[in-house]
A and B are shown apart, each in its own frame.
Chain A
Amino acid sequence: GAVVSQHPSWVICKSGTSVKIECRSLDFQATTMFWYRQFPKQSLMLMATSNEGSKATYEQGVEKDKFLINHASLTLSTLTVTSAHPEDSSFYICSASSDSSFYNEQFFGPGTRLTVL
């Protein structure tokens, strides 16, 4: 299957700082990338959907000024958590899909575990 990488895999930061998470599709062109958040013992919650070269579409309740998403190329999307607070501590997972896939399946990165102190 297609490979998606994420970096960093885990990060600890102080409250008020900003954290950038990178998501890369390594062996295919990702026309669409998705960002999810998962709290312990809960399912994935979609935060936003981004298409290369255009602004991300945010889900209801997700602050676009707090969670900045950039999808500058067909292989890279970034999520920046600005002015992070302890309640932002979570498991952030990206996924990517390609228009060339008939079923539009998503391939997930390994996730980034964010802890805000």
Chain B
Amino acid sequence: DTGVSQDPRHKITKRGQNVTFRCDPISEHNRLYWYRQTLGQGPEFLTYFQNEAQLEKSRLLSDRFSAERPKGSFSTLEIQRTEQGDSAMYLCASSLSGLAGVDTQYFGPGTRLTVL
């Protein structure tokens, strides 16, 4: 399968612990996005990368959240000192830059985080 993959698919942690998620985009895609989705809502934009550069971050991304894409390929999203409000599905998407204003994103299956 050459789609976007995410690991782990499920994570249960205790409040205060740190967690890290990984996203492997489609191999030739240079853009990578992170979103958070809670039940009954649409995905909320967190951040995106073009190659290894993090170009935009949402205000939702507090200082407990950090994302990296060190070699312009896979990306990690770390949440430090998790809180119960962090419980959500974390989605990764990738895209290939093309025509101006056109950016079709392909989504991974997500990592479901539960903070107890």
A-B interaction: no
Which A residues lie at the B interface, using CB under 8 A?
none
Which B residues lie at the A interface, using CB under 8 A?
none
